[in-house]
Amino acid sequence: MTDDGVLLRTVGLKKHFPVRKGVFGRVSGHLQAVDGVDLEIAQGETLGLVGESGCGKSTLGRVVLRLLEPTAGEVWFDGTELTRLSARQLKPYRRDMQIVFQDSVGSLDPRMRVREIVAEGLEIHGVASKDEREARVLDTLERVGLSRDVAGRYPHQFSGGQRQRIGLARALALQPRFVVADEPVSALDVSIQSQVLNLLVELKREFDLTYLFVAHDLAVVGYISDRIAVMYLGKVVELAPAQELFARPLHPYTMALLSANPEPIPGRKRQRIVLTGDVPSPIDPPSGCRFRTRCPIAQPICAEQEPPLADHGQGHRAACHFPGTEIAVTSSAA
């Protein structure tokens, strides 16, 4: 870990996908999935990453792990710049950096038994002997709330929540320091979501894990996260400690997301901020502030200048020319 306690840092991170057209597949443009993201995650911290579908949050998680190669920028892990490493040089770091996928069906090989799935990473990295690997697999299964006798079964024999636990076991078997949890509960029933979230919190304490927790539900992110980063169209537009973000949202997009959260008290109505228009194309994003085409408080300057992610105190940063401006409510919902 670096002297300032930061385990993972991204600097100007970008991922642009070429858009090809015609018979010869000529590049006609680039889809800007991630476009200049600066983040820091401290050892033992959970950073929540939230935004609408298609905003680039899952892509960011994969680029951080170099499952996708970045177009530009840097990824630093424990003081080492990963983007400069070859595949062979990167291999030792992969033990410390794991991912839990959203799709608990597609991410598990249906031809492999559970013990083989969980042990795969141990075998690739040559960790321990065969007997020791078997013992670690069984122990890890128990730690994620599964009995040892499931080791001989196949993924299709489990429920969605159980398959997600298998995915967790696979990620934890190598005893990593950093885990990207890519929408690990979005496909689960609400009752199962709470079980998996509580398990993630328990495992964080037990293993001193550091999470990048990706989700589109602010309520879920707020429950598990120490800090929250809000993404819109490839950029981070707000970053703050979780309680601070809920108490004092500064960006209009964050305010709209918070207004969409269900009201926990029966009978109380929540004032809903309804955004108009569609999300712009990441192939040709708007000039200036990318949110301006849907923003209810947009002014001419928003089209001319891109607002920086400025500090507003209490570790709270927002990319808006008019941070904290009250938005007129367009409707109310129960």
Compute the average pLDDT of residues 186-211. Answer: 87
Q: How far apart are CA 325 and CA 245, in angstroms?
A: 15
Question: Residue 43's CB: how many other CB atoms inside 10 A?
Answer: 16
Which residue, chain included where needed, has tokens 């989700």? 215
| pLDDT at site 102 | 83
pLDDT for 258-307, tens place per residue? 987 765 555 556 677 878 878 899 999 999 999 999 999 999 999 999 99
Question: Residue 3's CB: how many other CB atoms inside 10 A?
Answer: 6
Handedness of CA 85, 88, 90, 92 (dihedral sign): negative
What is the pLDDT confidence band of residue 252, given thresholds at 50, 70 and 90?
very high
- Mean pLDDT, the chain, as a whole number? 90
Compute the average pLDDT of residues 89-111. Answer: 90
pLDDT for 16-46, tens place per residue? 999 988 888 888 899 999 999 999 999 999 9
| pLDDT at site 270 | 63
pTM over 0.75: yes
Domain spans of the chain? Answer: 6-96+176-333
Angle formed at CA 108 by CA 105 and CA 114, multiple of 5 degrees: 120
Which of 49-53, 88-92, 277-281 has the lowest average pLDDT? Answer: 277-281
pLDDT(330) > 70:
no
| pLDDT at site 333 | 43
What is the pLDDT confidence band of residue 240, given thresholds at 50, 70 and 90?
very high
pLDDT(87) > 80:
yes
6-96+176-333 CATH fold: Rossmann fold (3.40.50)
160-172 and 114-124 helices, crossing angle to 10°: 20
| pLDDT at site 332 | 46
List the beta bridge partners of residue 189. none
Handedness of CA 12, 222, 103, 124 (dihedral sign): positive
Residue 197 CA neighbour count, 13 Å, CB half? 23
For the record, the structure tokens of 69 come out as: 């190669």
What is the pLDDT confidence band of residue 68, given thresholds at 50, 70 and 90?
very high
Q: How far apart are CA 114 and CA 149, in angstroms?
A: 10
Compute the average pLDDT of residues 134-158. Answer: 92
Compute the average pLDDT of residues 122-139. Answer: 90
For the record, the structure tokens of 186 come out as: 């979005």
pLDDT(121) > 80:
yes
The answer to whether 16 and 24 are in contact (CB under 8 A) is: no
pLDDT(1) > 70:
no
List the beta bridge partners of residue 313. none
Q: How far apart are CA 329 and CA 308, in angstroms?
A: 26
Edge-first strand order for the sheet with 310-311 is 97-100, 178-182, 210-215, 46-50, 227-232, 235-241, 317-318, 310-311
